[in-house]
Structure formats: C-alpha cells, structure tokens
C-alpha cells in the first residue's frame, strides 16, 4: 500500500519509534507488513525508481512498532519492493538496529538480487556517551572552549526564540555574506518572500515539537541563528549561519556550544548531526571536529532485480563515493552555484 496524503504521512512517520526528521519530508510512504518506507518517486525512461533518500540525508525502511521484524518479514518486504520498483535506493543508519537487520538480510539475497553498497560519513556527536554537558565540554578542543569564553566575555548570549520575530535579523545575517563555502546561498536564504514562507513552516514544526530555533546576540544585535530539527532522539543542524562581521568574536563557537548544551540538558537527544563529511568543505569539517563531532558511517544501498538496471545502481554508488572524496576547485564551485541559481 502507498500512502500519498501529506498529513497521513507526517502522522505515520511520527508514530514510528525508528523514524528521523527527514522521513517527514517524504512524498510517499510504502507500507507492507508493519514496515514503512518513506520515499520520493522518480521515473526515468519508464524506469520506476524508489528513492529514500540517496546521498543527501538518511532514509530507508522503518518498522512502525517497537518490535523488530523477523527475517521472514524483512525478506517478504524486500521481495515486495523489488516487485513494485525497478530500482530502489535507500540510505541506512548503521546505528539503527532494524536497518542493520534489513541490510544483513538484503545481502543474503545477493544470489537473486543485484545489491550495491556505498558509504556516506555523517558528522555526529553521540550524546548518549556523555553523562552530562560537563562531560561533553571536557571532550572538545581547548581552542573551541577559549573561543566560547571569548564570546561570553564580549557579553554574547544565545536564546531559544520565535523565528517569526526574527525575520529581518535572519535576512540581515544571510545577506552579510551571500557566498558561503565558495557557493552562492540558495534563493530560500535571500528572497524575503521565500524566507517568510520558510519561517512559517519552521513555526509549525516548532509547534509540533519537531524543531527549535536559536538566536545569538552580541552588542544588542542578532548575529547568528540555528534551526535544529529532531525526532526520536536524532537532532539535525538544519541551518547554522553567523553574521560575517561578527565571526571573529567567537559567535559560531558560542552558538554551537549553547545549542548542544540545550539539546543535552533539555531535549535528551542521543545523536546530533551536522551534515556529512566531504572534502568539498574542509573548513567546516575542522570546525566541527574541534566541537566534538566525529565521522560515522551510513550506507547508501541500491537494489534491483535486473542486471541491466544494476549497472545504474553501481554508477549511483560510484557517484556517492566520488562526492565524498573529490574537492572541486573553489572558483568552479562558485560558477556552478551561480548556474544553478539562474536555472532555478
């Protein structure tokens, strides 16, 4: 059965104890035998592709109940999706026990199915290994702690806020440097009408307990903000921007550490994630490493019953691998982002 109604999808995803926030953004949910697969549908030359969610964020199958499906239930589910889709792409969390079982049973069917596996490297903090914020504080680098103290000495502060009250501040922070990490910020960061629409969505997710918005203040001005999205103990840095004119005052350090403090002390999350480790942005990799983020592993898995389509799966897995290791020329990255901006 395929669920298409957005409201039903949202409630279904929130019901599962194994789902994460990105699952709420699925176009559809495929359901079979107590297992749900949030996905986007793609069709290429009449090839039906189930995409959940590739190289950008975790997805994959999630049991609807606390009970882990049996081997027979998983294999029945796998056979069912290969009958309904020509090519299936799923991104699996290594630390999610049901998804680990899914991958294990999937690989056991390699004599019948064509399965490809590549890896992505989420930047995460395993909060569940710390007993308190003080444990986390002692684990981060001395430089990060000193920059945080510098932010405090300059009377910087961080607070949870209503994003609707900070729309002009958000726009001002974004425009302080419209080029970040050698790329032009997308239109959703620069066009007031789009920002207003996005903020309205944030407010709804905050009301549902799926998001939290933070603002950093220095000299009486908003100089940074962060949006955290979360579900079932897994929190994501969805947005994190600092005013370019104030970055030297440790605003980034202050904002990030205070967000982590709040998530540890008040939200009791188990995992905090900030995107994926890729060579394209070594600066942010180093910054996050100083603040306790480390590289973990997620698996991007392609599944097909056809050997011809398996070649497309192998090419996709190769593409995922190359996206992790290739560091493009900054000027080419900038020109490419400008081209995308013109086409969008």
pLDDT tens string 68-118: 899 999 999 999 999 999 999 999 999 999 999 999 999 999 888 999 999
Confidence of residue 36 (pLDDT cuts 50, 70, 90): very high
pLDDT at 272 over 60: yes
pLDDT at 131 over 80: yes
For 4-8, 78-82, 142-146, which range has the lowest pLDDT when averaged over its residues? 4-8
Alpha helices in 53-211 (DSSP H): 71-84, 97-107, 133-139, 142-153, 167-175, 192-207
The pLDDT score that the predictor gives to residue 245 is 92
Q: b/e for 312-332, b at 16 or more Cβ within 10 A? A: bbeebbeebeebbeeeeeeee
Average pLDDT estimate for 166-171: 95
Name 182's Cβ contacts closer than 8 Å, sequence gap at least 6.
330, 331, 333, 334, 337
Residue with tokens 């607070």, as numbered in its chain = 159
Confidence of residue 46 (pLDDT cuts 50, 70, 90): confident
CA distance 37 to 23: 9
The pLDDT score that the predictor gives to residue 268 is 83
How crowded is residue 214: how many other Cβ atoms within 10 Å of its Cβ?
A: 20
The pLDDT score that the predictor gives to residue 187 is 83
The pLDDT score that the predictor gives to residue 27 is 94
pLDDT tens string 196-225: 999 999 999 999 999 999 999 999 999 999
Does the domain at 124-294 match CATH 3.40.50.2300? Answer given as no
Q: Which among 136, 46, 51, 47 is positioned nearest to 320, based on CA atoms?
A: 51
For 39-48, 113-122, 293-302, which range has the lowest pLDDT when averaged over its residues? 39-48
Q: Which among 2, 6, 68, 8 is positioned nearest to 32, based on CA atoms?
A: 2
pTM for the full predicted model = 0.91
Q: Which among 100, 99, 78, 90 is positioned nearest to 120, based on CA atoms?
A: 90
Q: Which residue has the higher pLDDT, 310 or 89?
A: 89
Give the β-pairing of 183-184 and 28-32: unpaired
CA distance 273 to 57: 11
Residue 178 three-state SS: coil
Secondary structure element (H or E) that encloses residue 286, with its range = helix 282-290
The pLDDT score that the predictor gives to residue 332 is 58
Q: Which residue has the higher pLDDT, 188 or 14?
A: 14
* Chain mean pLDDT for the chain: 90
pLDDT at 341 over 70: no
- For 31, phi then psi, to 5°, come to -120, 135
pLDDT at 183 over 80: no
The pLDDT score that the predictor gives to residue 68 is 85
pLDDT at 330 over 80: no
Q: Which residue has the higher pLDDT, 20 or 340?
A: 20
CA distance 128 to 214: 22
Residue ranges covered by each domain of the chain:
2-121+297-343, 124-294
């Amino acid at each position: 059965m395929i669920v298409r109604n957005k409201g039903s999808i949202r409630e279904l995803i929130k019901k599962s104890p194994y789902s994460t926030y990105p699952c709420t953004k699925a176009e559809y949910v495929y359901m079979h035998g107590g297992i749900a697969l949030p996905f986007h549908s793609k069709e290429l030359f009449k090839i039906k592709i189930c995409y959940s969610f590739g190289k950008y964020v975790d997805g994959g199958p999630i049991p609807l109940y606390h009970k882990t499906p049996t081997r027979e239930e998983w294999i029945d589910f796998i056979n069912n999706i290969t009958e309904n889709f020509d090519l299936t792409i799923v991104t699996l969390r290594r630390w999610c026990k049901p998804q680990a079982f899914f991958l294990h049973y999937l690989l056991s069917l390699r004599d019948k199915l064509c399965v490809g596996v590549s890896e992505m490297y989420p930047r995460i903090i395993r909060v569940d290994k710390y007993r308190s914020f003080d444990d986390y504080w002692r684990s981060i680098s001395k430089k990060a702690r000193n920059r945080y103290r510098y932010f405090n000495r300059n009377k910087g502060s961080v607070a949870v806020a209503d994003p609707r009250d900070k729309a002009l501040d958000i726009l001002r922070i974004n425009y302080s440097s419209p080029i970040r990490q050698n790329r032009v910020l997308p239109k959703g960061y620069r066009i007031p009408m789009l920002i207003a629409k996005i903020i309205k969505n944030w407010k709804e997710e905050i009301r549902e307990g799926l998001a939290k918005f933070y603002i950093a203040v220095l000299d009486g001005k908003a100089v940074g903000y962060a949006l955290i999205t979360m579900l079932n103990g897994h929190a994501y840095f969805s947005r994190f921007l600092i005013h370019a004119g104030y970055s030297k005052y440790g605003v980034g350090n202050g904002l990030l550490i205070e967000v982590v403090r709040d998530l540890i002390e008040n939200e009791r999350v188990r995992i905090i994630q900030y995107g994926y480790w890729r060579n394209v942005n070594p600066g942010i990799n180093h910054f996050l490493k100083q603040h306790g983020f480390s590289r973990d592993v997620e698996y991007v898995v392609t599944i097909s019953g056809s050997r011809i389509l398996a070649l497309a799966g192998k090419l996709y897995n190769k593409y995922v691998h190359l996206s992790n290791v290739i560091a493009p020329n900054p000027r080419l990255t900038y020109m490419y982002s400008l081209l995308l901006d013109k086409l969008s």
